[in-house]
Amino acid sequence: MAQQSAMWRVGWRSVMAHKVRFGLTVMAVVLGTAFVAGSLMFTSALSATFDQALNKAFYNIDAVAKAGSQPITQEDLARVRELPEVTTAYVHDTTSVVIAKEGERSALQTGAMQTSVGVWYEDSSKSDEAVVDTVTLYSGAAPQGDAEVALPESQMAMLGVNVGDRIIAVSSSGQFTYTISGTYTDSGIGEPGVELLMAEPAYLERYEPGGISTMLVRSDPLDDQAMVDLLKQQFPGMDVRTGTQFADDVTGSFKESMAFVTYFLVAFGLIALVVGTFIIANTFSMLVAQRTKEFALLRALGISKGQLRRSVTFEAIIVGVVGSLLGVLGGIGLVAGIRAIMSAAGLELSGMGLGVTPRSVVVPLILGVVVTVISAWAPARKASSVHPVEAMRQGSGAVDRLKVRTGVGVVLLLLGIVFSVSGVLFDDQPTKTRASLVGIGALASVLGVFFASAAASIPLVGLIGKALGAPFGSVGRLAQTNARRTPKRTATTAFALTLGVALVTLIGMFSATLDNSIRDISENELKVDYILMGPGTGELPLPQDVIDRVKGVEGVGNVSETSYAIASLGQPPSSVAGQNPGSFLSTMSGNAADVYNVDGVDGSLDLSEPNRLVVRKDIAQERNWQLGQKIPLFNANGAPIAEVEVSGMFDAAKAMNPITVSQATFDGKFATTSVVALFVNGDGSKSPEELRQSLEQAVEGSLYVRVQTPEEFADAQASLVKNMMNILYGLLGLAVIIAIIGIINTLALNVIERRQEIGMLRAVGMHRKQVRGMITLESVQIALYGAVIGILLGLGIGTAFLKVLASQGLDSLALPTAEIIWVLIGAAIVGVLAAVWPAQRAASTPPLEAMVD
């Protein structure tokens, strides 16, 4: 026990004696565990917020009535309110709008938030009119009549408006001007975004003339199920469910919409942990190599292998515990940062905490410690195998071990190539199966590169070092020799950067290919003069008055409307609570052949008449549809709309939706379509420039409808893709940061290990500047080697994945040439930055003191 206690003290003193090394290793654990802890905390905070909001917002709701086979009319709403068992009923509908200040022609910027109009109800503490009591007047007055609205207090500063200002709201219903009568706060879980609230009569008249879609009902005398039964009996055309089911639906959909944040955090947290694992393993390997004499002396004093192994493991536990604790604190900071970003974007959730729970603290702690100990296990075993005479002799085992390591790497690389090629060539298999094969191949390739990279580094680092060091003479040659001298260490250090660069290259390939594919669609498959739609991908419906004006423009030939309706083909959608009641079905007016270039047309693509459907041939074959066959069509509530005839089929096309129903099918039915784009061709009477000018004049007052050529449309869609990719690049920067820490770590330990060597070089006349240059060149060589291997790995995996996804429209494979060049330049900069502190430390080495150590 005394010996073991002494070993614990040795382990602890070793940590305390090398604080810099300890701090650098801890940082790798911190970065990984912070993202894992942050994702768990964010999830916990989100769940707790929703649970709290549910208790406050929906406890009053007994029943939810949705439009079924018939719309809910204003007369139905009045009849429901007249029932003696009903305490009150609340219209729960919103309509998307775009807003602007009166007199200004540009829309107010709301970021990623949706802007909508809803109904104002007084707080139930002041009135029994409301079913929910989360909305409270904050300043000004409640909106009245048809010319006033209230805005959320939290959004006023962002929008740059004040109480009393006049704003314009544009929707598919038209354009209206409102005065901001007041502001409100909402402690519930309503849809995120900017919601203008107005008096119920005005809202129903302007935005729900076709009927109400959702109504919330409160009953004091009846329980929820009794209220549901009563409404079903009195209104058989309504789809009625309990308030609890409705609450589950709302929170479920909102959590699902926010889940991507958690997925991103977990994914990049795992990437951080993987990269950090290699850095930690590398650190402990160097630690053992540097302390060979120390371990040999301890063994000579009678310390057993087990005690020595436990000592090194104890150091790893200290690193893991400290790093994980700091990572948990980092996770708290990450959640606070996400909350701040959400608040700035208008997605603030009232009462949202930090989500610190036992699970969100314990899991990252355990994960961080386990990862650290596992990564240190091999060095610990190596330490325990040190014999007293080890420090006085050199063996050849390293070369033998390198051969075994390389052999394993080559086998794994070959397996990776076989699986990836199989996924590409088996084009008769489902895309999911092929992608899985490529995924297995990618994993095998990554592991193969890790094992084979040490052997590959000897010639490759030599080539890089020769080219890089040529202008620096003897200092460059010395740096080249040093970088090649320990290939395993060089490869392991570079591998952290290799992973990050491979992911950057892979995403760059995906982005470039998607960009190319989008441009190919506009050049080869769209044959229209102009496309009119809103910003982004066209989520906002076009106002009907704008559509009418465009159709009346002189010089316009045919105009085709593209819209979407929530409906289902073949069978009614599920009415089970919590399930999607239908899917977005593409609809179109006019002749699709005037808009799209498609091959292999059977029948006709003319969708001018109602009850017509055109379908891609592979979809028709999958569903056993034939030309002339009639398919039943249902609205979102399961009510039959019509039977549509399969009037046309076509070969695979990227631009045209695989299934499209004629828009006229929905006319006069309770299944509205929202026109999101107009495809316009001129009649030849005007030049393209003149026609564009006329179209822009027609949409001038709409605030957000843009006139674009197919090429401009492709540019806009490509910019959206690039913006999404930039988010991923930002998160991947985490892996690069960890890689920089890894290179700093390795160089710093390398300088410590070579203290005598550097002292000798200083003693024979090497200047401090030359020492700094030598260390910097070594660092740049390692970084460039890691980047080159990462680029090759990313290109290989990316090519295989994109070949598999060619059937999904990504068939214009492109290489991210610019990104690759920037990655190489960035790697060189990383190498220089990573070497700053180790190089300064090496340059300050006292020659005489170092030589006598």
DSSP letter (8 states) at residue 526: B
Question: What pLDDT shows up at residue 714?
Answer: 77
- Provide the 8-state DSSP code for 606: B
pTM of the model: 0.66
Distance CA 68, CA 70 (A): 5
Please write the tens of the pLDDT for every residue from 522-531. Answer: 767 788 889 8
Give residue 365's pLDDT.
87
Q: Which residues, 6 or more positions from 290, have their beta carbon under 8 angstroms from its beta carbon?
A: 749, 752, 753
Please state which of the ranges 118-122, 276-280, 424-428 shows the lowest mean pLDDT.
276-280
Which of 127, 187, 178, 123 has the alpha carbon at shortest distance from 152?
187
Got the DSSP string for 31-91? HHHHHHHHHHHHHHHHHHHHHHHHHHHSTT--EEEEE-SS-B-HHHHHHHHHSTT-SEEEE
Instruction: With a cut of 80, say whether residue 352 has pLDDT above it.
Output: no
User: Does residue 400 register a pLDDT over 80?
Assistant: no
Q: How confident is the model at residue 59 (pLDDT cuts 50, 70, 90)?
A: low
Q: How confident is the model at residue 413 (pLDDT cuts 50, 70, 90)?
A: very high
Q: Judge whether residue 661 has pLDDT over 70.
A: yes
∠ CA 393-405-414 to the nearest 5 degrees?
165
Closest listed residue to residue 87, CA positions, set 119, 128, 52, 41: 128
Q: How far apart are CA 807 and CA 53, in angstroms?
A: 44
pLDDT level of residue 399 (50, 70, 90 thresholds): very low
**61 has a pLDDT exceeding 90:** no
348: confidence class by pLDDT, cuts 50, 70, 90: low
Tokens of 305: 């292998």
pLDDT for 281 beyond 60: yes
Cβ–Cβ under 8 Å, residues 830 and 743: yes
Mean pLDDT across 344-367: 72
State how far the Cα of 739 lies from the Cα of 831, in Å rounded to an integer: 10
Q: Is the pLDDT of residue 577 over 50?
A: no
**pLDDT of the residue at 19:** 66
pLDDT grade for 148, boundaries at 50, 70 and 90: very high
The phi-psi region of residue 521 (left if phi > 0; otherwise alpha if psi is between -120 and 50; otherwise beta) is alpha
Mean pLDDT in residue range 263-272: 62
Task: Give the residue among 350, 352, 320 at the shortest CA–CA distance from 336.
Answer: 352
Question: Residue 417: its pLDDT value, please?
Answer: 92
What is the structure's pLDDT at 206? 87
485 or 540, greater pLDDT: 485
| Of 355 and 673, the one with more pLDDT | 355
Q: What residue type is assigned to position 359 of the chain?
A: R
Instruction: Report the pLDDT value the prediction gives residue 777, as an integer from 0 to 100.
Output: 86
Residue 793 corresponds to which amino acid?
L
Q: At 179, is the pLDDT very low, low, confident or very high (cuts 50, 70, 90)?
A: very high
pLDDT > 60? residue 800: yes
Q: What is the mean pLDDT of the chain?
A: 77
| Beta-carbon contacts of residue 596 (< 8 Å; ≥ 6 apart) | 525, 526, 527, 605, 653, 655, 656
pLDDT of residue 575: 44
Beta partners for residue 561, in sequence order: 678
Least confident of 30-34, 469-473, 497-501: 30-34
Helix (H) or strand (E) holding 613: strand 612-616
Strand 166-171 vs strand 98-101: parallel, antiparallel, or unpaired?
A: antiparallel
Please state, in angstroms and rounded to a whole number, the distance separating the CA atoms of residues 413 and 398. 22
413-441 burial, b at 16+ Cβ within 10 Å, e below that, comes to bebbbebbebbbeeeeeeeeebbebbbbb
For 509-524, b/e burial (b = at least 16 CB within 10 A) is bbbbbbbbbbbbbbee
Give the model's pLDDT for residue 764.
74
Identify the band that residue 149 occupies on the pLDDT scale cut at 50, 70 and 90: very high
pLDDT band at residue 125 using 50, 70 and 90 as cut-offs: very low
Please say whether the beta carbons of 299 and 387 come within 8 A: yes
Q: Can you give the pLDDT at residue 124? A: 43
Helix spans in 291-396 (H): 292-300, 305-344, 358-384
Tens of pLDDT, residue by residue over 587-619, are 899 888 888 888 888 999 999 899 999 999 888
Confidence at residue 178, expressed as pLDDT on a 0 to 100 scale: 94
Report the Cα 457 to chain-centroid distance in Å: 34
